[in-house]
């Protein structure tokens, strides 16, 4: 005679994070990125998904005739697309990429210094997020570009724009002055 054991309760494991489902057709834009070190332009395509009546980034592709950067560009775009597809807050992606500096030095492009090709891709992502309304345009304070206080919820916006002195999120406006809650930096308009 077989003994029937009662079913055991499964151990509590977190439910896997569900990826957003890709539609057959997505809205997107392709941006031409010229990098002074390269003979050929890069074309950055960012496709969006509509969620709750608003566009948000869903995937990114970078293409160029220059195959020098092919492997890391494919890896980077796959990782960025994976982050975008997870949903949630993704505005940090552009900011993180813009902080990457090439040890060989960056380049002057469009009248300003960009620390690396990765940072230039971050600039394109940020511009796309602003163009589609996912992020609010940045404002300038003391020559530095800061996240706008009305931008969608992100780690830096939840605490305020980035401080130009310590680069931490936490600028607050008090009595007409911007002040950093971390280092005490202040700028009155």
- Tell me, what's the pLDDT at 120? 95
Query: Which residues pair with residue 188 across a beta bridge?
Result: 177
- Tell me, what's the pLDDT at 189? 59
Domain boundaries defined on the chain: 27-135
Residue ranges in the chain modelled with pLDDT below 70: 1-17, 138-160, 166-169, 182, 189
Q: Distance between CA atoms of 175 and 189, rounded to whole angstroms?
A: 10
Which runs of consecutive H residues, i.e. helices, occur in the chain? 70-85, 92-98, 117-131, 155-159
CB 168 within 8 A of CB 160: no
- Tell me, what's the pLDDT at 28? 95
Compute the residue count for the chain. 189
- Tell me, what's the pLDDT at 155? 38
Q: What is the pLDDT of residues 129-138, one digit of tens each?
A: 999 999 888 6
The average confidence (pLDDT) of the chain is 80
- Tell me, what's the pLDDT at 159? 57
pTM exceeds 0.75, yes or no? no
Helix or strand run (H / E) with residue 25: none
CB 130 within 8 A of CB 137: yes
């Amino acid at each position: 005679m077989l003994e029937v054991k009662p079913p055991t309760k499964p151990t509590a494991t977190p439910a896997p994070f569900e990826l957003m489902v890709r539609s057959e057709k997505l809205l997107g834009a392709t941006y031409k990125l010229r990098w002074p070190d390269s003979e050929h332009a890069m074309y950055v395509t960012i496709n969006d998904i509509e969620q709750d009546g608003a566009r948000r980034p869903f995937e990114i592709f970078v293409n160029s005739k220059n195959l020098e950067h092919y492997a890391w560009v494919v890896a980077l775009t796959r990782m960025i697309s994976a982050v975008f597809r997870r949903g949630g807050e993704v505005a940090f992606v552009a900011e993180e990429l813009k902080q990457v500096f090439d040890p060989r030095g960056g380049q002057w492009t469009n009248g300003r210094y960009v620390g690396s090709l990765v940072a230039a891709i971050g600039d394109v992502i940020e511009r796309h997020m602003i163009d589609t309304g996912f992020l609010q345009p940045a404002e300038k304070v003391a020559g530095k570009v800061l996240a706008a206080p009305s931008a969608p919820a992100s780690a830096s916006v939840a605490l305020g724009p980035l401080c130009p002195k310590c680069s931490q999120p936490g600028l607050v406006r008090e009595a007409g002055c911007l002040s950093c809650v971390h280092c005490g930096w202040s700028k009155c308009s």
